[in-house]
């Protein structure tokens, strides 16, 4: 079922290659093997856009990739997933960002992985690539994610978010585990309705670990809502009128892969916001999306309609 709400996901697009059961010392060998290899479209903005499309929203992906083999695969994959690819920017002098994700044969759990990527188009996407015409008519802009978007993070990203809000869009922003610099993040925060980092990212950015101090810190920066993912400790949320910590819904024995779980959470929170759910219901729906992602291999391979997730979130919230 199609939902008459349009979300634009700006930022990270990567072509992901998963290698399973790799020898831990493979770099010391001339040749090595993996039990199997799988390729998929990835990157935070890509994952969120696919998740939203599969939930039934009009989801647009806006990122920069090359006119190359891997870029072709990216466009094909997201289009087949139901994402609107019309805002994807392709340039002949740009290399599509790629990520190699390696799971060793003795990996302790699903989070025991090693990633390597080139900067590629993610680092070259700029404010001038994104016009007001692209933003007009949309309901939400998701910035996914602060860190690797070197040409957009900072003042350019702040102006983009400000333009989106002036056009009537709500906004959200996630953080990636690379290239974090709070001096670039700070000017963007007053234009963010939903700030959705994890606790480790917040601690790296601010030096803070106490939740009350973190809450007060970001309240002073002007964000609308802090939604902080804390892995097995659940999620802390506050709109600075009410606050709560919700438990994680994923059971450890059901987790097969952690790739994309944080992005699934973001997609669920955005979806719940577009559907007008309460703060508690938003957190529960987001956690349900993350739970579904954790139970599947690869990012954005799960499919559950938004209406079904929202109904379950409402029942769980009581």
Rounded average pLDDT over 49-65: 97
Q: Considering only CA atoms, which of 196, 317, 173 is closest in space to residue 246?
A: 317
User: pLDDT per residue over 263-280, tens digit each?
Assistant: 999 999 999 999 999 999
Least confident of 162-166, 279-283, 303-307: 303-307
User: pLDDT per residue over 195-253, tens digit each?
Assistant: 999 999 999 999 999 999 999 999 999 999 999 999 889 999 999 999 999 988 877 77
56: pLDDT strictly greater than 80 = yes
Q: Residue 2's pLDDT band (boundaries 50, 70, 90)?
A: confident
Q: Residue 179's pLDDT band (boundaries 50, 70, 90)?
A: low
């Amino acid at each position: 079922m199609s939902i008459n709400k349009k979300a634009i996901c700006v930022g990270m697009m990567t072509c992901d290659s998963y290698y399973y059961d790799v020898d831990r010392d493979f770099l010391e060998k001339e040749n090595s093997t993996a039990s199997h290899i799988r390729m998929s479209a990835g990157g935070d903005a890509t994952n969120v856009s696919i998740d939203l499309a599969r939930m039934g929203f009009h989801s647009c992906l806006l990122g920069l990739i090359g006119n190359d083999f891997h870029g072709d695969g990216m466009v094909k994959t997201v289009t087949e997933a139901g994402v609107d690819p019309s805002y994807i920017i392709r340039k002949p002098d740009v290399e599509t960002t790629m990520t190699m994700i390696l799971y060793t044969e003795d990996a302790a759990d699903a989070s025991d992985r090693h990633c390597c990527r080139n900067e590629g188009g993610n680092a070259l996407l700029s404010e001038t690539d994104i016009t007001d015409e692209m933003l007009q008519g949309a309901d939400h802009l998701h910035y996914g994610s602060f860190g690797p978007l070197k040409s957009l993070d900072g003042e350019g990203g702040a102006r983009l978010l400000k333009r989106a809000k002036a056009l009537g869009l709500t906004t959200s922003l996630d953080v990636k585990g690379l290239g974090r610099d709070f001096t670039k993040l700070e000017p963007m925060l007053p234009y963010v309705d939903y700030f959705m980092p994890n606790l480790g990212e917040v601690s790296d950015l601010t030096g803070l670990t106490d939740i009350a101090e973190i809450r007060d810190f970001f309240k002073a920066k002007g964000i609308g809502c802090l939604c902080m993912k804390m892995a097995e400790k659940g999620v802390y949320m506050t709109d600075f009128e009410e606050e709560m910590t919700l438990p994680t819904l994923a059971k450890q024995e059901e987790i097969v892969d952690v790739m994309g779980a944080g992005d699934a959470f973001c997609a669920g929170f955005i979806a719940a916001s577009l559907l007008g759910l309460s703060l508690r219901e938003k957190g529960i729906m987001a956690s349900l999306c993350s739970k579904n992602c954790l139970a599947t291999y690869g990012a954005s391979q799960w499919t559950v309609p938004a209406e079904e997730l929202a109904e379950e979130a409402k029942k769980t919230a009581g």
